[in-house]
Amino acid sequence: MKRGAAFGAVALAAFSLTPGTAFAQATSDASEGPRTRIVGGTPAEQGEFPFMVRLSMGCGGALYAQDIVLTAAHCVDGSGPNTDIGVTGGVVDLDDPAAQKATSTEVLQAPGYDGTGKDWALIKLDKPIDQPTLKIADTDAYDNGEFDIAGWGADREGGSQQQKLLKAKVPFIDDATCKAAGGSYSGLVDAEEICAGVEAGGVDSCQGDSGGPMFRKDDAGEFVQVGIVSWGEGCARAGKPGVYTQVSHFAQDIKSAADQLGS
């Protein structure tokens, strides 16, 4: 049910046509698999979301620091030294020759991650990507309203991952309404996950968008990350919202982990 490309099964380049989704865990079933691209989105402008990065295994992420990426735990394979993940940033078109490239040196997956909740991880890079970073929400004050999502994932359920970044807006959905969607949603981890989506469907993150940020403007008019694309049933189905890691709940853990990677 996770929305990233299957780790270990498909090692994707920065741009790949291999299908995936972001509402769900890595699986061959496109209706319940890692999510690839934004459904119902529009093209993002160059420089509009400069903190966005693409990971070579087919997930997204955001620059927590210029040399640290915040992504989903299900996109990586545990913690420790890792030089296998390629990172592309600074562009909306993954084929743009101006793209900045870096490689992982270490991964820190959320302690205790077992596939339910705690879906966050940090990736340390061998060199900085010279782009603005995305601050994380450290209170739940911004865990409401309308959110922005962006990614290179599939633009339809079962579709192909994209070369160019897409963006969309999705409204907050409260936990009770999200759980009422039934199925996997009944197991929503209230304190650790946040839901967003259009009730009628048609707009959503999808396979390959896993690990990418859900964000909004704060009171100062600056973007703040409130979620991480995690899972969902299918892509953009009516009554089946996207589920995101609730960043504010893990803010202190993420900051401590980043300090550990930076030391």
Q: Which of 56, 205, 210, 248 is catalytic?
A: 210
C-alpha 148/C-alpha 216 separation (Å) is: 6
User: Domains of the chain: which residue ranges?
Assistant: 1-263
Is 119 known to be catalytic?
Answer: yes
Q: Is this model's pTM higher than 0.85 or not?
A: yes
Report the CATH number of the 1-263 domain: 2.40.10.10
CA distance 80 to 77: 9
Do residues 29 and 1 touch, judged by C-beta distance below 8 A? Answer: no
The beta strands (E) that lie in the chain are given as 42-43, 52-55, 59-65, 68-71, 80-81, 86-89, 100-109, 121-125, 135-136, 146-151, 166-173, 193-196, 213-217, 223-231, 242-246
pLDDT > 80? residue 177: yes
User: Measured over all CA atoms, what is the biggest interatomic distance in the chain, rounded to whole angstroms?
Assistant: 47
pLDDT in tens, 108-163: 999 999 999 999 999 999 999 999 999 999 999 999 999 999 999 988 888 888 89
Q: Which two tokens stand for residue 76?
A: 């990586």
Considering 16, 56, 67, 119, which one is annotated as catalytic? Answer: 119
Catalytic pick from 56, 74, 205, 230? 74
Cβ atoms of residues 162 and 92 within 8 Å: no
pLDDT attached to residue 156? 85
DSSP 5: P
Q: What is the mean pLDDT of residues 232-249?
A: 94
- 3-state secondary structure (DSSP) of residue 251: helix
- Residue 41 in this model has a pLDDT that exceeds 60: yes
Q: How far is CA 68 from the centre of its chain?
A: 15
Among the listed residues 103, 37, 30, 113, the one whose alpha carbon sits nearest the alpha carbon of residue 74? 113
**248, two tokens:** 């504010």
pLDDT of residue 1: 61
Total residues belonging to the chain: 263
Contact call for residues 3 and 228 (beta carbons, < 8 A): no
